[in-house]
Amino acid sequence: MLHIPRVQLKADSARSRIYRYLYESREFCVKQTLAKQCDVSMPTLYQNLAELMEDGLVRYSGKEQSTGGRRAQGLEIVPDARYAVGISVMESRLRFSAADLRLNELAYHEAPFADIARLTEAVPRELDAFLDDRGLERKRMLGVGITIPGIVTPECDRIVMAPTLHLRNAPLLALAQDIPYPVYIVNDASSSGYAEWFACGESRNMAYLSLENGVGGAVLADSVPYGGDNGRSGEFGHICVEPGGLPCSCGRRGCLEAYCSARRITEELGVSPDDFFVGVERHEPAYETLLYDMLRHLAVGINNIHMALDCDVVLGGILSEYLQPYLPSLRRYVLAGNPFEPDAGFVRLSTLRKHTAPLGAALFFIREFVSGV
């Protein structure tokens, strides 16, 4: 069943206000505070808390320090009352992640995958194996988010273009038909950006730049993912950073993806990112030359994004896991090409370094559930 989570008005019942306040709160919360913040009477609070507890969504969380009288009991949501699964489709493997209502990862699994023509068979089969092996109760599952490394139509029914999968104008409905749960299909970088926004707990605007075998991104404006008129917002990998430069998987030349992807490392040096950065640490000339060429072109792309959107640029994906030691150099390159900023602090690394794409896909169902309790 293909399911399209949409931005929706939050329910405004007392039950919803109480649950959302507990969900969003990170501090010890007692009944008196809850009643005041949610603007409900104590009888209404007791009635709704009883229902939420009966549904397994809320529980007591201990007692606050005594000030001489009876110690008050705290309240909190039950994070694992529900969960969602995210599946990331990649060139050579499928990545599965199950996340609770706070996006804590409950389980993770990778399955080898090599034949794109058999994708519709592989995903439901491996999903069942993942749920069984990890002992995840199906009745608690909210849905399955699937990320694709390419542009997906707003209706989630077709891949417009996925260069790393060698797909163009490919149907997607068959991918959902054999999965007996709500299914949402989304671009992998957009999903990663959504997960990063949630993990940071920020309400600011943000551009997320994903550095994987392909390069993509996401834009969040006022905490809402911005997809653009055609669902192509955040396709930062195809910004031109070197006119007439290296060939890109999209068929053009000089794209950011051609210069700053993990695929470039493998194709030019025949090594994995792990081995590449070990070589850089050993000051091997070919490795250092490639790294700093990547950083200079990455700075051009970052400046283009920042000039257009005027917000923080967050680097995620495989390569971001290795960039901390080289962040000062990258920021110097960025600053040299930016006439407005006193520093390049707007460039930062992702908080979530691993499994961001499948976690972000799961988050779409989690947020929908929390908004509708």
Q: Work out the pLDDT band at 211, boundaries 50, 70, 90.
A: very high
Is the predicted pLDDT of residue 30 greater than 70, yes or no?
A: yes
Residue 341 has φ and ψ, to the nearest 5°, of -90, 140
Three-class DSSP labels, the chain? CECCCCCCCCCCCHHHHHHHHHHHCCCCCCHHHHHHHHCCCHHHHHHHHHHHHHCCCEEEEEECCCCCCCCCEEEEECHHHCEEEEEEECCCEEEEEEEECCCCEEEEEEEECCCHHHHHHHHHHHHHHHHHHCCCCHHHEEEEEEEECCEECCCCCEEEEEHHHCEEEEECHHHHHCCCCCEEEEEHHHHHHHHHHHHHCCCCCEEEEEECCCEEEEEEECCEECCCCCCCCCCHHHCECCCCCCECCCCCECEHHHHHCHHHHHHHHCCCHHHHHHHHHCCCHHHHHHHHHHHHHHHHHHHHHHHHHCCEEEEECHHHHHCHHHHHHHHHHHHHCCCCCCCCCCEEECCCCCCHHHHHHHHHHHHHHHHHC
Is the predicted pLDDT of residue 173 greater than 90, yes or no?
A: no
CATH 3.50.50.60 fits 202-349, yes or no: no
CB 322 within 8 A of CB 316: no
CB 193 within 8 A of CB 300: no
What is residue 290's predicted lDDT score, i.e. its pLDDT? 98
Percent of the chain residues topping a pLDDT of 70: 94
What is residue 168's predicted lDDT score, i.e. its pLDDT? 83
Cα–Cα distance for residue pair 302/295, rounded to 1 Å? 10
Q: Where in the chain is the domain with CATH 3.30.420.40?
A: 81-193+356-372, 202-349
Q: Work out the pLDDT band at 7, boundaries 50, 70, 90.
A: very low
pLDDT tens for each residue of 337-346: 999 989 999 9
Q: What is the mean pLDDT of residues 32-57?
A: 95
What is residue 329's predicted lDDT score, i.e. its pLDDT? 97
Q: Which two tokens stand for residue 207?
A: 């551009």
CB 1 within 8 A of CB 182: yes
Residue 263 has φ and ψ, to the nearest 5°, of -60, -35
Strand order in the sheet with 312-316: 224-225, 215-221, 206-211, 312-316, 347-349
Is the predicted pLDDT of residue 116 greater than 80, yes or no?
A: no
Cα–Cα distance for residue pair 26/104, rounded to 1 Å? 15
Q: What is the mean pLDDT of residues 117-124?
A: 86
CB 105 within 8 A of CB 357: no
What is residue 298's predicted lDDT score, i.e. its pLDDT? 98
Cα–Cα distance for residue pair 300/257, rounded to 1 Å? 12
Domain at 14-77: CATH code: 1.10.10.10
User: For domain 81-193+356-372, which architecture applies?
Assistant: 2-Layer Sandwich (3.30)
Q: What is the mean pLDDT of residues 216-230?
A: 85
Select the more confidently predicted residue: 114 or 232. Answer: 232
Select the more confidently predicted residue: 197 or 223. Answer: 197
Burial 78-109 (b: 16+ CB within 10 A, else e): bebbbbbbbbbbbbeebbbbbbbbebebbbbb
CB 14 within 8 A of CB 44: yes
Q: Which two tokens stand for residue 113?
A: 């995958």
Q: Where in the chain is the domain with CATH 1.10.10.10?
A: 14-77
What is residue 70's predicted lDDT score, i.e. its pLDDT? 65
